[in-house]
Structure 1
Amino acid sequence: MQEILLHLPYFGPVSHFAELVKPAGIWFENEDNYQKQTYRNRMYIYAANGKLLLNIPVKHLPKSNPRQHQKYKDIKIEKNLKWQKQHWKSLKSAYQTSPFFEFYEDELVPLYLKEYDFLMDFNYDCLEVICTCLQLKVDYKKTTEYLHEAKDFIDKRYLINAKSNIQIPEYVQVFQEKKGFLHNLSILDLLFSEGPNTPNYLKNLR
C-alpha cells in the first residue's frame, strides 16, 4: 500500500482531505518546525462578503531569538484572545443557512468550548471530529523524526501552504450567487454544503 505524508492543518482545505479518502496509509509529520502563513493555524471560509480568514493566535519565541525555531508540536495557543468565540460566531454567521450546518453543529461546538494549550492537540481533535462527521476511518500514524526527504512516501506536505492556488470542481456554496465560486476553502465549507455526499466528492478529486 502507498503511504502519504501530510502536515496537520486547522480544518484544512478540500485538497488536503481528498488525500485522506485515498486507499493509502496516512502519516502526519509530527516533528517539523512551525511556519507562519500556513494552514497549521488558519482556515478560509465563505462569508457574506467573500473569502474570510480565521486565524488561531499562537505564542511565538521572543524577538531576541529570531533564528531559533520552534517545533509545531510545541506551539502554544495564545489564550488571552477570545479566538474560539470569534471563530464559532463567524462559522455560524456564514453557514447557518447552509443545507447541513445544523446537522453537524453539535459535533463541532465542543471544539470551541474546550480550552487548549497546544495548537497541534487542537488540530488533531479537529481531524477526529471531521472523520466522525464523514464516517471516515483514517488509521493514521505520526512520524517520530523529521523527514527531510520522504523517499518512502508520496510527499504531500506542500498542501499545508496557504498561498497555494489549487482549483477544484464546483459545488453549490452559500454565497456563490453573490461572489462566485471560491476554490479550495476549508473542508467545513464542503461539509456544510454537501453533507453526507462529501466523501463521494472527495473521492472524485483523485
Structure 2
Amino acid sequence: MRKIIITQSNYIPWKGYFDSIALADDFVIYDDMQFTKRDWRNRNLIKTQSGIKWLTIPVEVKGKYLQKISETKISDKNWNNDHWNVIKQAYGKSANFNYYKDFFEDLYLNTTSKYLTEINFRFISAICEILNIKTNFHFSSDFSLKEERSERLLDLCLKLNGTDYFSGPAAKVYMNEKIFEEAGVKINYFDYSAYPEYEQLYPPFVHGVSILDLLFNEGIEARKYLIF
C-alpha cells in the first residue's frame, strides 16, 4: 500500500492537516491551483483571552483572483513580526510556550520569503520536524498533469505509484470515484470526529484552531492528540 494525499498549502494549519501528513507516504502540496481569498491558504485561527482570532498573512490579489497559489506574493513585509507579537500575547501563559518560544521566534522572525507557498511550506515542514513526521513532500507544479480536477488527482497518484488516495470528507461532492476505481486506486475519506480534547486556555474547547494551540498547550505530548 502506498498512501497519497494532495491538498493546498495552509498557513499554520490545524492538527487534522498534520494528521493527514503523518498518514501519507507522499504528501503533495497542490500549489498550482487558483488562490482563493478568505480561505485557509493565508490565514488560520488561534485562541486568545477575548476569543477566537484570525491571523492573516496580507497578500497581493490580482483581478478576479486569477492567480495560482504559487504565484501569490506577500503585500506587507512586517506580517511576521506582527503575528509573532500576537502569538506571544495569546499563548504566553500556556503550559509549554517557553519550551517552543525560541524555536518559533526564530522561525517567524527569519521568514522573509515574498511568496505565500514558500512561507506555508517553511512552517509546515518546521512543525513536522517538531512532531517527528517524516513524510515525503512534493509540489504539484513539478508535474505535468491532466486538466480535469479528478483526473489531475488520479494522475498524481499514478505518477507516485499510489494505491490509496486520502481526502477530506468535503471532496465527496466533486470526486469522480469511478475513474479511480478503474485505475485501481482506492479513495479513502478522513473522519475528523475522534479527536480527544486537551488542556486548552480560555474555554470552551475548540478543535479547529492552528496546531500552534496544541503545541503550546501540550508540548512534547502533542503527538498523542493526533490520530495517526
- Which range moves more in the overlay, 107-116 or 122-131? 107-116
Q: After TM superposition, give the deviation of residue 198 of structure 1 in Å.
A: 1.6
Deviations 1:36-93 (A, max 9, x none): 12111001001010101100000111xxx43x6101001000126x322221111001
- Give the distance between the partners of 2:220 and 2:85, measured in 1 at CA: 24
Gaps of 5+ in 1: 160-165
- Which range moves more in the overlay, 181-190 or 167-176? 167-176
Residue identity opposite 1:187 in structure 2: I
The structure whose residues are more often helix, as a share, is 2
Count the aligned residue pairs: 190
Gaps of 5+ in 2: 158-164, 172-191
Residue identity opposite 1:96 in structure 2: G
For the pair shown, the structure with the greater C-alpha radius of gyration is 2
Residue identity opposite 1:193 in structure 2: N
The secondary structure found in structure 2 opposite 1:91 is: helix
**Pairwise CA RMSD:** 2.2
Residue identity opposite 1:200 in structure 2: K
Residue identity opposite 1:112 in structure 2: Y
- Give the distance between the partners of 2:199 and 2:130, measured in 1 at CA: 19
Residue identity opposite 1:74 in structure 2: E
| 2:5/2:24 contact within 8 Å kept | no
- Give the distance between the partners of 2:116 and 2:196, measured in 1 at CA: 31
- Give the distance between the partners of 1:122 and 1:157, measured in 2 at CA: 27
Q: In the alignment, which residue of structure 2 is the partner of 1:186? A: 210
Question: Is residue 202 of structure 2 the alignment partner of residue 175 of structure 1?
Answer: yes
| 2:35/2:68 contact within 8 Å kept | yes
- Give the distance between the partners of 1:108 and 1:138, measured in 2 at CA: 21
TM-score by length of 2: 0.76
Greater relative contact order, per chain length (Cα 8 Å cut-off, separation 6+): 1
Question: Is residue 108 of structure 2 the alignment partner of residue 108 of structure 1?
Answer: no
Q: In the alignment, which residue of structure 2 is the partner of 1:162? A: none
